[in-house]
Amino acid sequence: MFETLSQRIRAAVDKLRGRGRISEADLKATLREIRMSLLEADVNFEVAKNFVNRVQEKTLGQAVLESLTPAEQILTVVYEELVQMLGGEAKQPVLKNEGNLWFMVGLQGSGKTTTTGKLAQFYKSKGRRPLLVAADTQRPAAREQLRILGEKIGVPVLEVADNERPETTRTRLQQHLTFDYRDLVIVDTAGRLQIDEALMDELAQLKHVLGPSETLLVVDSMTGQEALNVSKTFDERIGVSGLILTKLDGDARGGAALSARHVTGKPIYFAGVSEKLEGLEPFYPDRLAQRILG
């Protein structure tokens, strides 16, 4: 990911290397080039504009331009601002000692069910006792997919019945938890190929009845800016506490990853980096920024 962006930013800054002193015009030309490369990586227009403005504010002072190493100093500022663009400090979902119930939402095909399995495996390896809930009341195949994942990682899966009411799901979940102690319940909800009003109502109702401690939206980073529109709609209709970006391994441009924090206002908790169950990583803005600047 980020290959082209990375090359272009480095090339733009490299042009300033070896010069004792750079002019304001040189700096502005470099920033224009960086802005273009962000836009071509499919970064949201406002996010790219604000980024360049902040870098300009921090570097336009004479101290940077007249320093012995202006290129290095500009690169440091670009790095700091990239970290901010990606969300600043790395954030994780809130995990209490017990009573954690996470609600997974997202479009069909985004990687929601796979990510639900990945999360269960990730937290199981940290000593947690997850329980998965396959909550798609319309698609038995979706429930089966989660059941198979659960068997693979050795985590139980509670399946809803066709057209089960949210209150019934809540009662069955409570009953399950009385005989099988679990400290992290992850609910894989129904997904559809597009935003679907009936589905949004169903999800909002299930969320209201189950009262999750986190609502995690799974978005496919390869869909670029569309992923961010989807995020905004899910947040308006259901309320989202954090994002998980999938398929970063197949996303050459990286625009959704770079813009998501500022466009949606939500932290990015994890990134999906392969189809495998181990392919989930906590999202570290500083490491990604370092990777971009090589």
Residue 265: burial class (beta carbons within 10 Å; 0-12, 13-18, 19+): exposed
Summarize the annotated binding site as residue ranges.
Answer: 106-113, 188-192, 246-249
The residue type found at 56 is Q
Q: Applying CB under 6 A, which part among 6-14, 195-203, 204-212, 267-275 lies near ligand GDP?
A: 267-275
Q: Within 16-55, which residues bind ligand GDP (CB under 6 A)?
A: none
Which tokens in the block code for residue 258? 């770079």
**Do the Cβ atoms of 230 and 261 come closer than 8 Å?**
no
**Do the Cβ atoms of 82 and 292 come closer than 8 Å?**
yes
Q: Torsion over CA of 174, 180, 183 and 185, rounded to 10 degrees?
A: -50
Q: Applying CB under 6 A, which part among 23-31, 34-42, 156-164, 244-252 lies near ligand GDP?
A: 244-252
Q: Which of 40, 249, 281, 286 binds ligand GDP (CB under 6 A)?
A: 249
Instruction: List helix spans (H) across the chain.
Output: 3-14, 24-40, 45-59, 62-65, 70-85, 112-124, 140-153, 166-179, 197-210, 225-237, 255-264, 285-293
281 near ligand GDP, judged by CB under 6 A? no
Q: Tell me which residue of 96, 83, 94, 114 sits closest to 283, measured CA to CA.
A: 83
Q: Applying CB under 6 A, which part among 41-49, 103-111, 158-166, 168-176 lies near ligand GDP?
A: 103-111
Q: Applying CB under 6 A, which part among 29-37, 105-113, 128-136, 206-214 lies near ligand GDP?
A: 105-113
User: Which position's Cβ is nearest ligand GDP?
Assistant: 272
93 near ligand GDP, judged by CB under 6 A? no
Total residues contacting ligand GDP by CB under 6 A comes to: 18
**Do the Cβ atoms of 18 and 50 come closer than 8 Å?**
no
User: At its nearest, how many Å lie between ligand GDP and the CB of residue 279?
Assistant: 5
Residues 167, 162: Cα–Cα separation, whole Å: 14
113 near ligand GDP, judged by CB under 6 A? yes
- Smaller CB distance to ligand GDP: residue 113 or 259? 113
Summarize the annotated binding site for GTP as residue ranges.
Answer: 106-113, 188-192, 246-249
- Going by the DSSP 8-state scheme, the letter that residue 160 receives in this structure is P
Q: Which of 130, 166, 191, 285 binds ligand GDP (CB under 6 A)?
A: 191
114 near ligand GDP, judged by CB under 6 A? yes
Q: Which residues bind ligand GDP (CB under 6 A)?
A: 106, 108-114, 191, 246-247, 249-250, 272-275, 279
